[in-house]
Amino acid sequence: MKKNWIPGNIGLVVGIMLAIWLIAACDKMKTPEDDPGDLIGIAYAPQPYTIIKPDDFPPVPVPASNPMTVEGVQLGRKLFYDPILSTDSTMSCSSCHLSQGSFTDHKAVSIGIDGISGRRSSMSLLNVAYVNNGLFWDGRSPNLEAQALMPVEDVIELHNTWPNVISKLKVHPSYPALFRKAFGITDRDSITKELAAKAMAQFERILISSGNSKFDEYQRGNVDIFDEEELDGKLMFFDEGASVNLPDGQCFHCHGGLTLTGNQYFNNGLDSVGALSEFKDKGRYEVTNNPNDQGKFRSPTLRNIAMSAPYMHDGRFQTLLEAVGQYGDNGFGVSNEDIFIGQMGFPIGNGKYSGLSTYHKKAITKFLETLTDPDFVNNPDIQNPF
């Protein structure tokens, strides 16, 4: 009796253990599609997010299809800084947009996960919410939601696919709950690239100047804050120096408004070409196919410009003084150069202008340095959350 009882019980135990193993194995094989409604138990109560901006800045444009919420911004912030978006999980959006570089990467041209250099420098994201005429240097993206989709699948940048990214987000330990809290999805299978892009766009819309730069203080009436050289630079920048015998710098025509971003595309006299088709980088033309747009690029914001070297679309100038200096000789006369490129300095007759002296270029550079806004780059709400 005893000998028969022991093997029987052992068999029963083994059978139970095998059943438990099979159930566990089946659970591990489950996909998000097998568990609809798995996020319903997580509260969905989004809080409206109020974008902080200087009082004299206009309201930040927000599309009705993507209202700002605290939960959406926080999800977007995590996605922006998370290398999960790249194929090998080594790079994130923030790799090319560093907060301490005013959301640039201090490289002439950005480098992707495979060590391959791109064609252009990363643009600052400061006040990007106000850009209303196309994003990137060539304006190929109409809005922040569309822009956020592109770097993931760019073969030079993050070199991934959105289906792969979404697969990783669905099984991630925290992202499904964050998507639920931000967008009210009921199960993780409802995570999409469009929702990810909406969240990142919400985060990018909070990247607004603090209003605490030296220039902002001057604009608020503290005129004594500028020294003589900074004031001369300011007068030349805005073509206001005639009464004190200063030449026109013509700068504000391409860098106007409170954000000092022209929201337009210009040939700013960088290169001498015999025909427009000779431009190495065709710029805006690649989007519009308008021959006159060859060699034109979107004018970047000049706020925090001293923090975002090197300069121009290809990063050819290492210092701000070099960048300002290239405007001192009135361009090359290429047919689609902006008209003001040829009108730097004092008029000297026959439609010609004197250009800018060494002092004039230094003064304008000093004025541009007054646009530096350390409170923006040090804002804890926009730093890496990991």
Q: What is the pLDDT of residues 41-75, one digit of tens each?
A: 999 999 999 999 999 999 999 999 999 999 999 99
Confidence of residue 98 (pLDDT cuts 50, 70, 90): very high
Residues of the chain with CATH 1.10.760.10: 70-209+378-382, 214-370
CATH number of the 70-209+378-382 domain: 1.10.760.10
In the block, which residue shows the tokens 């999409």?
192
User: Is the model's pLDDT at 20 over the cut of 70?
Assistant: no
Q: What is the pLDDT of residues 263-273, one digit of tens each?
A: 899 999 999 99
User: Is the model's pLDDT at 18 over the cut of 80?
Assistant: no
Mean of pLDDT values over 227-245: 97
Residues 6+ apart with CB under 8 A from 72: 46, 49, 66, 182, 183, 198, 199, 202
User: Is the model's pLDDT at 21 over the cut of 60?
Assistant: no
CA–CA gap between residue 131 and residue 144 (Å, rounded): 9
| Contact call for residues 123 and 139 (beta carbons, < 8 A) | no
User: Is the model's pLDDT at 19 over the cut of 70?
Assistant: no
* Percentage of the chain modeled with pLDDT above 90: 89
pLDDT higher at 262 or 162: 162
Confidence of residue 10 (pLDDT cuts 50, 70, 90): low
Q: Which of 23, 140, 53 is nearest to 379 (CA)?
A: 53
User: Is the model's pLDDT at 235 over the cut of 90?
Assistant: yes
DSSP 115-155: S-B-SSPPPP-TTGGG--S-BSTT--BSSHHHHHHHHHH-T
* pLDDT for res 34: 52
Element (H, E) at 349: strand 347-349
Please state, rounded to an integer, the average pLDDT across all residues of the chain.
92
* pLDDT for res 314: 97
* pLDDT for res 70: 98
Mean of pLDDT values over 242-257: 96
Angle of CA points 67, 68, 73, to nearest 5°: 135
Superfamily for domain range 214-370: Cytochrome c-like domain (1.10.760.10)
Q: What is the pLDDT of residues 350-379, one digit of tens each?
A: 999 999 999 999 999 999 999 999 999 999
10 Å Cβ neighbour count for 117? Answer: 12
Chain mean position to CA 326: 26
CA–CA gap between residue 214 and residue 233 (Å, rounded): 13
In the block, which residue shows the tokens 């939960």?
71
Report the b/e string of 152-187 with b at 16+ CB within 10 A.
Answer: bbeebbbbbebeebbeebbebeebbbbbbbbbebeb
**Residues paired with 337 in a beta bridge:** 267
Residues 6+ apart with CB under 8 A from 65: none
| Contact call for residues 126 and 179 (beta carbons, < 8 A) | no
Mean of pLDDT values over 289-303: 98
Token pair in block for residue 44? 């969905």
